[in-house]
Chain A
Amino acid sequence: MKLLTGNDLKTGFVTWWTGADWSLHIEDAADVGEQGEAILAAEEGARRVNAPYIIAGEMTPDGPRPAHIKDRIRALGPTVRPDLTLKPADPNAGDWVI
């Protein structure tokens, strides 16, 4: 699967294309398939998200996951500060990242 990601213009936070909008949560990410480049171009024009780009991903029982370690870390947060990730209360939240 292919995922579209970028950083939110106002906050800089990592964000994922859901098919209709952007979400901070990788679980909401949609497979952009062959439409990725067109969505990317449209979203660049909308100027809501910085430097959007398309990455490879895979669907798992827990939801979509980026293929590359850099984007997996982007999806969760710094591995050395679980308290700063999107799921600070879940000690196993980062099991899939590394």
Chain B
Amino acid sequence: MYKYDEYDHAMVAARVAEFSDQVRRRLAGEITEDQFKPLRLMNGLYLQLHAYMLRVAVPYGTLDSRQMRMLAHIARKYDRDYGHFTTRQNIQYNWIKLEDAPAILEDLASVEMHAIQTSGNCIRNISSDQWAGAAADEITDPRPWAELLRQWSSFHPEFSYLPRKFKIAVIAADEDRAAMRLHDIGIQIVEKDGQHGAAFYVGGGMGRTPMIAPLIKDFVPLEDMLSYAEACLRVYNRYGRRDNIYKARIKILIHELGADEYRRQVEEEWAHVKSLGIDPPKAEFDRIAAQFAPPALDASAPDEIDRSDPDFAVWVDQNVAKHKMPGHAIVNISLKPVGGIPGDASSAQIDLMADLAEKYSHDELRVTHAQNIVLPHVRKADLYAIWQALDAAGLATPNLDLISDIIACPGLDYCSLANARSIPVAQKIAARFSDLGRQKELGELKLKISGCINACGHHHAGHIGILGVDRKGTENYQLLLGGSGAEDVSLGTITGPGFDEDGIVDAIERVTDKYLAERAEGERFVDTYRRVGMAPFKEAIYG
């Protein structure tokens, strides 16, 4: 894992001191809310429905047990004993007091964390594959590149006031576990002629106008990654619209310019940027990469798993993934118990996951964009002990990628932008499909719910997506089918008129029943949808 150097420490400490003074001035009435708002947002402090909300960055979703325990400490000391893991691999606290914000940022800084650039029109937290460094199918660990991008984008003077927020994802496997092509820039590290390079997909995103990022350049030598990214941003910063917030994202610029013209302009800019020497010397990259060296895994660890406990076996089958090292596995901890709030974890649960990481996973954890937690480096021989501990804490729900593993934004229960509640809908769907046998019969089915058009719940990318809207002052839910955020990326299509809260649950059941009636051997829900189209589902839903 990356450890701060003296520059990182100094930068974060300076920001904490600066923001502490800004808070003091605000509390003393020396500055107005209009003056203070952009300052607090630069430090991840929002004002939501019920209180201030602090969004803490978890760079590329990676953290160690010390950092995880600090997240629990903040939940316990300053919030209401829980945190909410988000679709950007971050964590949010919903009940922060303004007067506590400086102390929280100091606490975070003590474990090399912060909330910088978790809001505002800047480059946000770099996201990545939650199985990075452990996945059997990756060609390299993408995180050193994500860290390089983090350092480059932190306080980047030219990109601190972009036309709109900007999100970058980096992966290094063909299986896309980070919704890479639904980012402003999605980078896939690929191999060509024995060399690794970066494929740049630019102009994706969800929100009001969802778009899949087109391939802008299929192979950028890795030593040129930063200069190419800089060129991509420069063209956007120069021509992105600042007159209309709804047309300000880079996806709109590329859509209007066309990918070919955008590519031409980036190439032209890149030729200039490359001459500026912003790409780091190899020694600096090697310094960063060395901190992501694989943990010392025991290659002789036994590969067998004792599956004699049937409940444990069910969990292993659903939530444990293949590790690149024999005898090891990737543990996916579901934060989606039936009746729970997707992504929420109590301080005790956060502490427990930290303890398990320290004891069994080489001190590493990951936050996933699906709002779950990963222990990336676990010996198979330790799986049973881990499962027992998780089960005792309500963290062993065996539903990864099943219909109850729902992504849901905070919705109208917490968010000032939302039009409808997301969480109660997720809870009702999870309850309706609570029978695990039924869930497994449905197979992989990614259900995603957003409480407004901003799509924090990724509804466009759900095999089944739900969008909450305000219809004359009451909550209404539109249903979408056929989306995917994975390597088979696609955008969902709205089925037709929306439903009330109970109606949307019934509609989903009609959809899944239709899928079971129509599916061919081996088809997932989304495969069947793509084969038969919308019509049979529409007929099942609306008659």
Chain A contacts to B: CB under 8 angstroms: 7, 9-14, 47, 50-51, 67-70, 73-74, 77-81, 84
Contact = CB atoms under 8 A, between A and B. Distances in A.
Counting chain B residues whose Cβ lies within 8 A of the other chain, the interface size class is: 20 to 34
A84 B95 CA distance: 10
Nearest to B423: A80
Nearest to B341: A80
B97 A12 contact: yes
A84 B80 contact: yes
B298 interface: no
A71 B47 CA distance: 15
A50 B33 contact: yes
B280 interface: no
B50 interface: yes
5 contacts: A7-B47, A11-B98, A12-B47, A70-B418, A77-B50
Contacts of A50: 33, 47
A43 to B, nearest CB: 12
Contact of B27 (A10, A51, A84): A10
A80 B29 CA distance: 35
Contact of B51 (A7, A73, A81): A7
For B32, B51, B95, B423, the residue with the greatest tally of chain A CB atoms inside 10 Å of its CB is: B51
A45 B474 CA distance: 34
A79 B475 CA distance: 14
A12 B424 contact: no
A7 B40 CA distance: 15
A14 B98 contact: no
Contacts of A80: 341, 413, 421, 423-424, 427
Nearest to B426: A80
Contact of A12 (B26, B52, B341, B475): B52
A3 to B, nearest CB: 16
Task: Give the 5 A-B residue pairs with the shortest CB-CB distance, closest first.
Answer: A12-B51, A12-B52, A78-B413, A47-B29, A80-B423
B96 A79 contact: no
A67 B97 CA distance: 28
Contacts of A74: 49-50
Contacts of B51: 7, 11-13
Interface of B: 26-27, 29, 32-33, 47-52, 80, 95-99, 341, 412-414, 416, 418, 421, 423-424, 427, 473-475
Contacts of A81: 341, 413
Nearest to A45: B32
B473 A69 contact: yes
A10 B97 CA distance: 6
Contacts of A67: 473
Given A51-B47, A69-B475, A73-B412, A12 B96 contact: yes
Contacts of A79: 413, 421, 424
A82 to B, nearest CB: 11
A74 B474 CA distance: 15
A51 B33 contact: yes
A67 B472 CA distance: 12
Contacts of B95: 12, 84
Nearest to B94: A78
Contact of A9 (B27, B48, B414): B27
B366 to A, nearest CB: 26
A7 B423 CA distance: 23
Nearest to B98: A10
Contacts of B474: 69
A14 B50 contact: yes
B413 A14 contact: no
A47 B35 CA distance: 12
Nearest to A67: B473
Given A69-B475, A78-B423, 19 more contacts: A7-B47, A9-B27, A10-B27, A10-B98, A11-B52, A12-B47, A12-B48, A12-B97, A12-B98, A47-B29, A69-B412, A70-B412, A70-B418, A73-B413, A74-B49, A78-B50, A79-B421, A80-B423, A80-B424
B49 A70 contact: yes
A79 B410 CA distance: 11
